[in-house]
């Protein structure tokens, strides 16, 4: 069991690296429209998930009751993805990544309203602490950088609501690859008109970077799926925050980006809140307190659904 858990931790750290690499490639692709970047990222995911479903036994079958949830997951996920890409283009990439990592805390809020899952006082305290930490990263002001940061928060919000609908779909028995395929295709269709209207010619290296961003995202998706087959989300999900560390390292080495002291304080508070919530749930589980509600851990970009024990449904 310990070996399986260690393998899960390794794979989720690898997923963090790949997703950080995705945001890095998005940034170095240069001054291209956000929709153009988003289209390429989604198109790669659509093609890969299409291939997975082609080889699956059930093919492209979608459960009758899944359509509303699929549309809501796709709308919110698309808003979150586009907002995140825009923030990555305008902000320090580590700041953009940590704001996107507010999504699990938003998921707790929306699970209460959409799924009637009640969090306890400790979890609400973790949510409040995380949003307090976000203020250090956002730095409210009248400067345009504040607007960019708010867009980054919107990315975390969209991803958090998408989390909630992924959980709902998973509870209904919908397959993970169907959710990924529907989201990727929906996002590609939404961004396609903007891509065509705002298209800017790309140098070969820019095209290579965007394709690399798409494949990095898929690498992250495969790793996070494998991770959650090795160990339950409640035991390893906190290691997903290594993505912020990888993003900070890439930004420092290749982009000469150094987070300021306020951002670092925000990182510590947000990640600390996630670690505290993780340890609290693990401790409660170990003593048999089964009343602690848990939000299903599913990556906002990959869209992988998870079963009731926190393990992603397999392709």
- Locate the domains of the chain by residue range: 2-286
**One pLDDT digit (tens) per residue for the chain, 315 residues:** 668 888 989 999 999 999 999 999 999 999 999 999 999 989 988 898 888 888 888 888 899 899 999 999 999 999 999 999 999 999 999 999 999 999 989 988 998 888 888 888 999 999 999 999 999 999 999 899 999 999 999 999 999 999 889 888 888 888 878 888 899 999 999 999 999 999 999 999 999 999 999 999 888 878 887 887 787 766 787 898 999 999 999 999 999 999 999 999 999 999 999 999 888 887 887 776 444 444 444 443 333 444 333 333 333
| pLDDT score of 288 | 64
| pLDDT score of 312 | 36
Instruction: Give the helix/strand (H/E) hosting 229.
Output: helix 204-230
Coil/strand/helix, residue 312: strand
What is the spatial distance between Cα 269 and Cα 83, in angstroms, rounded to a whole number? 23
What is the spatial distance between Cα 139 and Cα 136, in angstroms, rounded to a whole number? 5
| pLDDT score of 173 | 86
What is the spatial distance between Cα 30 and Cα 287, in angstroms, rounded to a whole number? 51
The phi and psi torsions of 33 (rounded to 5 degrees) equal -55, 140
| pLDDT score of 291 | 47
Instruction: Give the helix/strand (H/E) hosting 166.
Output: helix 144-171
The answer to whether the beta carbons of residues 77 and 158 sit under 8 Å apart is yes
Coil/strand/helix, residue 173: coil
| pLDDT score of 1 | 63
Provide the β-strand partners of residue 312: 306
Six-digit token string for 157: 């919000």
69 CB contacts (<8 Å, ≥6 apart)?
A: 165, 168, 169, 172, 174
pTM: 0.85
């Amino acid at each position: 069991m310990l070996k399986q858990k260690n393998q899960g931790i390794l794979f989720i750290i690898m997923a963090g690296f790949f997703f950080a690499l995705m945001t890095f490639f998005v940034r170095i692709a240069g001054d291209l429209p956000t929709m153009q970047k988003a289209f390429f990222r989604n198109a790669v995911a659509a093609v890969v998930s299409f291939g997975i479903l082609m080889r699956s036994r059930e093919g492209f079958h979608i459960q009758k009751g899944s359509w509303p949830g699929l549309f809501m997951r796709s709308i919110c996920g698309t808003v979150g993805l586009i907002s995140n890409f825009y923030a990555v283009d305008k902000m320090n990439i580590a700041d953009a990544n940590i704001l996107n990592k507010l999504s699990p805390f938003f998921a707790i809020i929306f699970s209460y309203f959409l799924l009637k899952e009640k969090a306890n006082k400790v979890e609400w305290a973790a949510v409040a602490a995380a949003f307090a930490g976000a203020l250090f990263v956002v730095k409210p002001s009248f400067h345009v950088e504040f607007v960019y940061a708010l867009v980054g928060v919107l990315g975390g919000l969209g991803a958090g609501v998408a989390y909630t609908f992924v959980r709902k779909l998973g509870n209904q028995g919908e397959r993970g690859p169907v959710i990924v395929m529907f989201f990727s295709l929906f996002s590609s269709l939404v961004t396609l008109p903007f891509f065509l209207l705002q298209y800017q010619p790309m140098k070969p290296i820019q095209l290579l970077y965007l394709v690399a961003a798409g494949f990095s995202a898929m690498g992250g998706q495969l790793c996070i799926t494998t991770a959650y087959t090795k160990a339950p989300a409640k035991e390893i999900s906190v290691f997903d925050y290594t993505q912020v560390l990888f993003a900070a390292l890439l930004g420092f080495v290749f982009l000469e980006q150094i987070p300021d002291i306020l951002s670092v304080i925000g990182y510590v508070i947000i990640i600390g809140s996630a670690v505290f919530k993780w340890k609290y749930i693990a401790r409660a589980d170990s003593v048999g307190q089964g009343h602690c509600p848990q939000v299903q851990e599913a990556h906002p970009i990959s869209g992988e659904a998870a079963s009731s024990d926190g393990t992603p449904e397999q392709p």
